[in-house]
Each structure stands twice: as structure tokens, then as C-alpha cells.
Structure 1
Amino acid sequence: MDVSNAISIARRGRWAVATMFFVNGFLTGSWAPQIPVFLTRLEISELTLGMLILIFGLGALICMPISGYLMSRHGSRRIVRGFGCFAVLALLPVALAPSTPLAATALFLFGGLVGGMDVAMNANAVAVERRLSKAVMSSSHGFWSLGGFAGGAMGGIIIQNFGHVAHAGLVTAIAVSLFALGARHLVTDPRPVVQEHRKFALPRNGSIYLIGLLALFCMIPEGAVLDWAALYLKQERGADLATAGFAFALFSGAMAFMRFAGDGVRNRFGAVKTLRICSLIAAAGMLVAALASEPWVAIAAFAFAGLGIANMVPIAFSAGGNQPGMAAGTGMSVVTTMGYCGILVAPSAIGFAAEHVGFSIVFAALSGFLLIVGMLANLAHAADFVPQPAE
């Protein structure tokens, strides 16, 4: 294969994996507007609804390491296609489920398929980075954010005017179409030099778990802002409901903006230096948000923190997918599983802690987590990958 043809394939693969990120984010964002419908349609309590949402997260956490194991045998392209072709169909059974047990089953499968696809598409983004010899992970996550925004923004309007089943059907049609366009151009990744396990087993390389810890410390603050920032502003800073809602909106908007700019920053300064600077920005923003007495000062501080957090997770994922002697999918599955606990599991513990000490102290403590990431930034040196020769 000549060099120009190899670069052309890699560039198509770059947009193909960006499409996978958009589809995954679109499916996740489209699920959010369906949540309130569950309360009335299934006639369940908020506690039961919370358990159903937790089941969605558990499905993702269980399937993430399975996805990594499958990639160590078959490569990321086949696993993205495998999980993705079912994930694009999975919202419809959730919307059609007539009872709580069936809804729980559908949500577990939906979460598992979306989570398994998530790990595989991140590993495929690593393969694209190696072929292009430049970072694409941050902008790939930017496409995920765009997909989530698109799914969430259109969902409420469609459900209100046409019903939740019509919404799920339209989401499925859009997701299937985009997936079919992108999946055929995904790049292949080479088999690892070291086949570290022939049966399902956890990696023995301790550094991958430290990188997973970095991802966890990056994603806990993200989950905290997502679930608790509005309540913090309303209860402890006297903001009205409309104002409080801007906290996550500006935080996520800042993250999306910075993720599209982040690859250029990382290519210029390197993963370790970028991670260290980003952690300082994020920690400063989180600390100011915790100490601010005025709601809009806290909201601006959350947005500033979002600028820093935006590129921290993609760098951790790249480092996990570039561990020497380890399949990209194996490292990615460990890092993503540990990292996503920060969004799917940690917020419940944060709520419990805030009930006893207040959200202000909790957000201040989270700034300490982000400083720890900065101190351990050297662990992300593997994200500064070496070019992969064209095959």
C-alpha cells in the first residue's frame, strides 16, 4: 500500500470514527428525554426510576471489559460494528417496554450495548491516531458531545408533539443511517505484539490501573456537575431554577468547544504538559465554584472548569490505549470502565456526602482530586504515541 493511499484511508477512518462517537452520544442524549416518561407511563416512584437509571449504568460497566476482551481477539473495527449495529436499535425496546421488569431488561441491554460500543470506538480512535500520527481523541469526544446535545435538544420537542414511541423510532432511523454510512470506513488496528490472555483475565500491568484512576478522578467532577451543580446553586447559593440550569449547560458547552480545539493543543505541547495545565485550570474553576457566593460567579467558574476537564479524559483514554505490549482494546476497557464509574456510580456517593457536609465542601474536595491528576500527569506519557508505519 502506498503512503498516499494509506493516509487517505486513515482520513476516512478519522471521520468514520467521529461518526461513531456522534451516534453513541446521540443515542445517550436521546435517552435522557425519555426518562420523565417512565414515571407516568410505568406508574413508578422516583426511587424505582433511580434504580432503572442505575441498571442502565450497570449494563455499561459490565459490557465495557467484555468489549475489551473481544477486541483483544478480533480488533476494534469488528467490535464497534458488532456492538453498534445492535446499539442503534436498542432505544426502541426501552420506549416500548410495557412493564417495569421488561423496562429494566431493556435498559440493561441498552446500557451494555452503548457502553461496549463506547470502549471499541475509543480504541478505534487510538488506531486512527497511530495511522495519522496526530491526536484525534479530543475532537472525537467533541463529536460525542455534539451528538448528546442533538439528541437531548430535539427529544423533548418530539416527545411532546408526537409521543415517546415516535421519538424512539425517529432516533433509531437517524442512528441506523449514520452508523451505516460510517461503519464501512472504520480503520483496522493491528493485533498486539503480546497476546496477554487467551481467556478472559484482567491485565497484570499495574500502570493501566493508575491511568484508570486518573480517568476516574477526571470524571467524578464531571458527574458531580451533571447531577448536582443545579441543586447546589439553588439550595446553597439562592439561585432560581432557570439560573441554576445554566451550570451544566455552560460547563458542557465549554467542554465541547475545548474538545474540538484540544487535539491541536495536545499535538503542540504533548499529552503530559497538556494534562498538567488542564488539571490546574479545572481545579481552579472547581474551587472558585465552591467558594463563590454569587450564582453567576459559580456558573462562570463551572464553565472555566469545563475548559480544563474537556481534554483530561481523552488524554487518559489515549494513554490507556497505547500501553506497550497490551492490546489497545484491553487497556481502553480498563480505563473506560474505571473512568465511567465517576459518572455512573460516584454521583450517588457525592449526594450522600453533600447531605452531611454541604455541596460547597464537596466541590472544594473535588478540586483536590483534579490537582492529584496534575501531580500524576507523567502517567499519561504513553498518549504521546510514536507514528505507526503504513501497512
Structure 2
Amino acid sequence: MGTTAEPATDGPERSYSATRWAIAGAYFAQGCVFLSLTTRLPKFQKHWGISELGLTGIMLLIVLLAGAGSFIAETIAPRRGSALSLRIGLLLVTASLLITGPAPDVPVLLAGMAVYGVALGMVDASSNMQAVSLEHRIGRPILPSFYGAWTAGGIAGTLLTLATPHLSVAAVSMPLAVLPLVVAFGPLLLARGVVQPAGGDLGIPWRQILLVGAACVVFYMVDTAATTWGSVYFDHTLHSPSGLVALAALPYLCASLFTRVAGDRLADHFGAPTLLRVGAVVALIGLAVIVAAPDWPIGVAGFLVLGSGIAVVAPLSFSAAGVLARDGAGDDPSVIQPRVDAVIARFNQFNYVGALLGAVLTGAIGTGSLRVAFAVPAILVLALFPLAKAFRRPAEPPAEPAAYSTPRQQ
């Protein structure tokens, strides 16, 4: 598999390297902001006097509005390009941080979180559109390394929380708002698309895409439970020192980063189905350790194992959806790119279905015991085994990168 891709991809990959860094910057900013928020949830609770049920409601608000943001990106991208919708989303992330940071009361906080929810969906959908399009132009799997950039940003956001335990929410949020602002005005994103021709949706294998989407839902259930409720689990159940609650997310993210950086080559060499099954076994072991952990050091080990196994599922899912969207579209880039963008934007909704179940169900079950709540994803991970066969790539090789014109940079 690797031997057929190598000759065709060396030149195009080098020519697209600057664009690859620009897209990775958007993933990094998204991960940094998201984890800086979720690892500070205990501080949010104490600062505004929010109960766990109230926190669950806020997460529900964010997830629902993220779905709306993804729909907005789907509307903008075919006509103005995914680069524009990505920039708008990043600017809204900045606005949300400027609102939530100094929020004087809960209503203003909710307004800021609502803006963040829309922004989250727009950035998620648009950055995935950009990444999948570039993957097709290069001609080999690169989605895992983009998700590695998101994870690196998440690690940066987590370390920020660990390094500033005594700073107020506003003192952290205001400087953090600069990061998405800088990325939003950076150049080198892929050029805008064109309006999708009538009937361009025909022939898309939605049934197989739904199977891949089911795996994506499982991933985001586990991921959201780990990144959103992990710090609360450490604080309330495992009774870690107050300054170390972010240690739930940090080992999870570090292991995820390692797996995703290696994921491009692993997927190219072993294939997505095998990589997915092995990851499911490792994730199951990690969740078992988390549920049974008697204290926080064992919990750290559990999250480390979990991250090393589950991390490949999301990038492989979006990559598979992009391949399926392109299947049967021919070689015309005016048909391929808008068609892939539309499928990726809709596929992104699986992200929020999983996040909704992961955040809200974990929180609802966790009102009794978060230990029990983390047992639910352990059962759902088993679904990855039968779903792995949907990740097989078509037997015929993808179209050469030359089928695309060299993109204008925005």
C-alpha cells in the first residue's frame, strides 16, 4: 500500500507543505481553546456557583449550537469556500473568549458559551473540509497528523491550566483569545470551492458513510467523557490535589498525540480496519483501568492507555468519509471538492451526536457516580470491532493529485 503511494506523492506533498502547516494551525488553535475551557470546568463551577447538572446543561447548549455551526459551514463552503467559513469560525472563538472571560454573571457566561458553540461547529467542519481536500491532493493518509495538531493544542491548553491554577478565568481567557485571531488572518489555506452542480449529491454511498459515522460517534462519546468530565472525575471521585485535576486530560492527550503523529504511516502500512481494531482493544483496557482506579495515580495510567488506543478513530473516520464521498465523482475538481465538502460538513454532525451523548449522558449518570458513568463508554467501544470493516478503502487507487489544479491560496 505504501509502495504505490510513494512515487505519486513526494512532489505534491512538498508543494503543499505550507498549506498543510496553515490548516494544522487551525486544528492547534481549536484544541488549545477547547481544552483550556474543559480543564477549567471545576473553576467555572466554583466561580459562578454552577452545579453538575447546570454544567451538563451548558455542555448541551454548546453541542447543539455546534451542530448549527457545522450547518452554517456547509452552507458557506460550496459558494465562498471552506477557508472563509474557517476564518469566520475562528473569529467567533475569539469573541466567545472575550465574552466568557470577564462575564459578570451566568447569563453573560451563557451568551459567550452560545457563541463558542456556533464557532466550535464552524471550525470543526471547515478545518476537516480543508484537511480532507488536501489529503486527496497529496494522495495518501494525512488526517491523523492534523488531529495530532489538535491534540498538541489540547496539551498546550491543559498545561496552561496546570501552570495558572490561581489565575482568574478572565486572566486566562483574554490572552488566549489572541491565538484563534492570529490563525484566522493567516494566509495559505486552500482556495475557495465552487457551487456544487445540480445532482452532485447523487451516488454518494450514505449507508456506508453511516457505518463510518457510527464509529465516529463512539469515539466522540469516549473523547468528550475524557476531556470534559475527566477533570471533574479526578476532583470529585479520585480526590486528586486541587491543582492537579487537569492531569486527567494531559496523559490522555499526550498518548493521543503520539498515536496520531504515527497514525499517517500506520494507516498507510496496516490499513484503517486493522488499526481501528487494535485501537479498540487498547481503549477498552484503558477504560477498565479508569473505572477500577482506586486513586488518582492509577487514573492517570488509565487515561494514558485510553488515549493511545482511541485517538486514531476520528481522523480515520473523516478520511474514510472523504474517500466514500469522492467515490463515483469522476475526476472533475469542480464536482469533487464541493461534493466532499458537503459530505464532510454533514459527517461532522456525528461529532456532536457523540459529544452530546458523551457530555450529557456522562454528566447525567455521573450525578450518582462518575465511576459508573465511565463504564458506559467501555461497553460502546466494543461496537468498533464490527464497524471496522466499513473503513476498507476501494480497491482502485485514488486519482492522481494532478487531477486537481494547483490551488489559489487565501
TM category, shorter:
0.7 to 0.9
What is the rounded CA distance, in whole Å, between the counterparts of 1:37 and 1:283 in structure 2?
Answer: 30
What is the rounded CA distance, in whole Å, between the counterparts of 1:86 and 1:150 in structure 2?
Answer: 20
Which structure 2 segments of 5+ residues have no match? 1-8, 330-335, 406-410
Are the aligned partners of 1:279 and 1:374 in contact in 2 as well (CA < 8 Å)? yes
* Aligned equivalent of 1:177, options 174, 182, 186: 182
1:376 equivalent in structure 2: 387
2:269 equivalent in structure 1: 268
1:1-391 alignment to 2 at 5 Å? Answer: 7-32=13-38, 35=41, 38=44, 47-155=53-161, 157=163, 160-161=166-167, 163-181=168-186, 184-188=187-191, 195=198, 205-228=206-229, 239-242=238-241, 246-290=247-291, 296=297, 299-322=300-323, 323=325, 324=327, 325=329, 327-353=339-365, 363-382=374-393, 386-390=398-402, 391=405
Shift of residue 218 of structure 1? Answer: 1.7
What is the rounded CA distance, in whole Å, between the counterparts of 2:72 and 2:151 in structure 1?
Answer: 24
Are the aligned partners of 1:75 and 1:191 in contact in 2 as well (CA < 8 Å)? yes
What is the rounded CA distance, in whole Å, between the counterparts of 1:180 and 1:328 in structure 2?
Answer: 25
What is the rounded CA distance, in whole Å, between the counterparts of 1:103 and 1:197 in structure 2?
Answer: 42
What is the rounded CA distance, in whole Å, between the counterparts of 2:356 and 2:36 in structure 1?
Answer: 17
What is the rounded CA distance, in whole Å, between the counterparts of 1:38 and 1:187 in structure 2?
Answer: 37
Shift of residue 316 of structure 1? Answer: 0.6
Which structure 1 segments of 5+ residues have no match? none
Are the aligned partners of 1:320 and 1:331 in contact in 2 as well (CA < 8 Å)? yes
SS in structure 2 at match of 1:148: helix
Task: Decide whether aligned partners of structure 1 residues 146 and 91 sit closer, same or farther in structure 2, where only a CA change above 3 A counts.
Answer: same
Shift of residue 45 of structure 1? Answer: 5.4
Are the aligned partners of 1:213 and 1:338 in contact in 2 as well (CA < 8 Å)? yes
Task: Decide whether aligned partners of structure 1 residues 265 and 160 sit closer, same or farther in structure 2, where only a CA change above 3 A counts.
Answer: same
What is the rounded CA distance, in whole Å, between the counterparts of 1:140 and 1:340 in structure 2?
Answer: 19
What whole-Å deviation, never above 9, does each CA across 1:32-62 have from its counterpart, x for those lacking one?
4665665566566565454334322322122
What whole-Å deviation, never above 9, does each CA across 1:151-172 have from its counterpart, x for those lacking one?
33225655845x5444333222
Are the aligned partners of 2:87 and 2:185 in contact in 1 as well (CA < 8 Å)? no
State the TM-score, normalizing by the size of structure 1. 0.81
State the TM-score, normalizing by the size of structure 2. 0.78
Are the aligned partners of 1:218 and 1:373 in contact in 2 as well (CA < 8 Å)? no
What is the rounded CA distance, in whole Å, between the counterparts of 2:109 and 2:234 in structure 1?
Answer: 33
Shift of residue 265 of structure 1? Answer: 0.8
Task: Decide whether aligned partners of structure 1 residues 388 and 66 sit closer, same or farther in structure 2, where only a CA change above 3 A counts.
Answer: farther
Task: Decide whether aligned partners of structure 1 residues 245 and 7 sit closer, same or farther in structure 2, where only a CA change above 3 A counts.
Answer: closer
Task: Decide whether aligned partners of structure 1 residues 309 and 8 sit closer, same or farther in structure 2, where only a CA change above 3 A counts.
Answer: same
SS in structure 2 at match of 1:282: helix
What whole-Å deviation, never above 9, does each CA across 1:128-170 have from its counterpart, x for those lacking one?
1112222221111111122122233225655845x54443332
What is the rounded CA distance, in whole Å, between the counterparts of 2:390 and 2:181 in structure 1?
Answer: 38
Task: Decide whether aligned partners of structure 1 residues 189 and 315 sit closer, same or farther in structure 2, where only a CA change above 3 A counts.
Answer: farther
What is the rounded CA distance, in whole Å, between the counterparts of 1:7 and 1:134 in structure 2?
Answer: 9
SS in structure 2 at match of 1:90: helix
What is the rounded CA distance, in whole Å, between the counterparts of 2:100 and 2:317 in structure 1?
Answer: 32
Shift of residue 351 of structure 1? Answer: 4.2
Select between 29-38 and 65-74 the one with higher mean Cα deviation.
29-38
Q: Percent identity?
A: 23
What is the rounded CA distance, in whole Å, between the counterparts of 1:277 and 1:4 in structure 2?
Answer: 29
SS in structure 2 at match of 1:185: coil
Shift of residue 256 of structure 1? Answer: 1.6
Count how many residue pairs are aligned between Structure 1 and Structure 2.
Answer: 379
Select between 377-386 and 321-330 the one with higher mean Cα deviation.
377-386
2:332 equivalent in structure 1: none
